[in-house]
Structure 1
């Protein structure tokens, strides 16, 4: 059964209400979000069955972009058309985005020893969170020697060359090596069907490519165009999970001097403590750069490429899922992404967050809490922030 079976179509208001509940309660990152979606929309509301949901998750994991938000967008689309898709995105994203914007605007007005300690505590927490992400992604995306070698090659490449172009090169290298070394497997079973025509899919693909080419040419036309270009490019390259946006955005906004390292890493730490998509981090960065208008532009620019790619893929998913080479290329790209994130774990996350043995000990406690004690990320963030304040006051 697919989202287009004979079930009565839902309303935009129904979709908004369901995803607002999820946006307020979905802690724990993309994998946890997919579990929340299944419980609420497959098991309880019965919008679609298990097979259709698994197929949708497979598609979104295959594509670049924020997986959980893409799944939510598609579920809203299947339930209530284009209005439902937009309602799902808005309701799932707004709670975390509004909190992060409010915190970003407040943080700009706060100073003193306690505030500095809070920021430092969040930077220490970021070390634990990114280390957990690297380890988890390496276990799932680099299960054999060839893919582990691709990840290491990406780290070596980024040690020699830095910047967004180097990250794009690392991912491209991963795709090429995946085609050469990683066996592919075509999918079987029924394909999903959504109310997206082939013309609409081609149009979405054309818009995606046009913006990717045109926005860099407009980069010098003002701060707004430069911001849109940076966040759109980062959103176009996110393979493997939301944490991968960290090194991409760091290269776009910190390396260019638009946001300080302290503001960047403290916002990344706070993004772990709120429910909803990790991409809401863009709202913090946009607000830090240009207030509420900047938050809106950054948020939309980061999410847009993933949604355009999803719309483009929906009509051709039947063919794409059966092509062996596509699975090999994506497997190689995902392995390279592990290397990209591992490189970011060292610089800027570790080099900026860890300044002594006490910091290292706190980061290690946070990592153990996340991985072995299964403490929720928001609790680890809160405890790390309080520890940072306490150490600053004692010092």
Structure 2
């Protein structure tokens, strides 16, 4: 009798634990699916949406930890906003949570890009509709709110504010991915030498729930695939392996996110004759109008390419190939993150890095986000109203996006 009771108790505990895991995964997937549907404006705006959702609303981590995480992901090749999302999913539900976060955030735009791949010729031509312009204005408000909030938290004194302003000016004067990496590195050096960290632990411990062997396996897979895929593609002559090699390499070697990867992708897919320049540019134009990561452009390319696989199977294959390096890099780096940020020297460096990140966001707020979205007094008024809704009314980004889209439509009709 006692044995049966003990067995029943153990079974109940196991079922309860499984239920909690399932609930966490559902929470992660639902949260990121919502963001995947409304996160317009590119990677910088995505970081603003992510901060609003997971720092302010859900409180999964604080501003300092979030800024540290953004800085870490900006150092890694690949799309920083997607990598931050993967890390946040791991924070909540481990490796399955990381997968759920990526799927939720990527699914909406990837599905649309695959569908567009089946009929892109019907979407060519025409001017920018008012609702799309409104979405760009929503991105202005989201990024402005992120700069405002992060600036107050991470640049509380003249020294760090000066680093942020200098970083913004340098990035504006030297608009390149290399400049952003250099600014972060210089900010870290300034922090290490001139901005000593206060005594303490470097912030609350953040548990990413990743197994001890996972980081080592991630690094081995990352470098192993980078070396082996070109060899396998050449020796076997299989088109599918050539696709995976091209997209995996593109995702592995690019810093700066979606826009930076586009020239590299074009060099991989247009010269071999896999896709025409016309089709490539049509997909690129469509990708600008969608929420979520710009790397989902790869799903469109896989869909319309010559040879097999193509269609939805090709789209899913190229999508997985271009995101896989980012996934492996994040899983390899995250377990060391708490140790790095707790070292006195690292915490001092992070003071400078965080200030530099604020400066980079400030520069991006002006160019390209503000300059490409605000072209009239009406645009400015709509952006200011959306910003006020976020900051003063604490409105959900979803409602702000809808408000801006409606406002953009009305401005177009005026």
The TM-score range, normalised by the shorter chain, is: 0.5 to 0.7
Q: Output one character per residue of 1:9-28: Cα deviation in whole Å (capped at 9) or x when no partner.
A: 98778534421233214666
Indicate if the aligned counterparts of 1:148 and 1:335 stay in contact, CA closer than 8 A: yes
The equivalent of 2:394 in structure 1 is: 374
Which protein is bigger by CA-based radius of gyration? 2
Question: Are 1:305 and 2:329 an aligned pair?
Answer: yes
1:89 lines up with 2:98 in the alignment: yes
Alignment of 1:160 with 2:173, yes or no, is yes
CA displacement 1:142-197 (0-9 Å, x = unmatched): 11111111112212221232221111111111110110111124418999696744
String of CA shifts for 1:276-300, please: whole Å, max 9, x gaps: xxxxx24544345545334434444
1:388 is matched with: 408
Relative distance call for 1:191 and 1:348 in structure 2 (3 A) is closer
Q: Which runs of 5+ in 2 are unaligned?
A: 1-12, 35-48, 74-82, 235-241, 267-279, 304-314
Q: Does 1:15 align with 2:21?
A: yes
User: Counterpart in 1 of 2:153?
Assistant: 140
Is the CA contact (8 Å cut-off) linking 1:282 and 1:302 kept in structure 2?
no
Q: Look up the match of 1:364.
A: 384
Measured after TM superposition, the shift of residue 119 of structure 1 is 2.0
Report the TM-score, using the length of structure 1 for normalisation. 0.68
Matches of 2:401 and 2:55 in 1, distance apart?
A: 22
Aligned-pair CA distance for 1:74:
4.5
Query: How many residues are aligned here?
Result: 335
Of 48, 54, 74 in structure 2, the residue corresponding to residue 33 of structure 1 is 54
The 3-state SS of whatever aligns with 2:196 is: coil
Q: CA RMSD in A?
A: 4.2
Decide whether aligned partners of structure 1 residues 170 and 120 sit closer, same or farther in structure 2, where only a CA change above 3 A counts: same
* Residue from 125, 138, 154 that aligns with 1:125: 138
Corresponding residue SS for 1:350: helix
2:340 is equivalent to residue 323 of structure 1:
no
Cα distance in 2 for residues equivalent to 1:206 and 1:105:
31
CA contact 2:137–2:373 (8 Å) conserved in 1: yes
The answer for the alignment partner of 2:275 in structure 1 is none
| 2:395 alignment partner, SS class | coil
Over 3 Å counting, the alpha-carbon distance change for 1:193 and 1:167 in structure 2 is closer
Is 1:100 aligned to 2:106, yes or no?
no
Q: Deviations over 1:63-85 (max 9, x none)?
A: 723556424314534xxxxxxx2
Q: Residue 29 of structure 1: SS of its match in structure 2? A: helix
Unaligned runs of 5+ in 1: 1-6, 40-52, 78-84, 238-246, 272-280
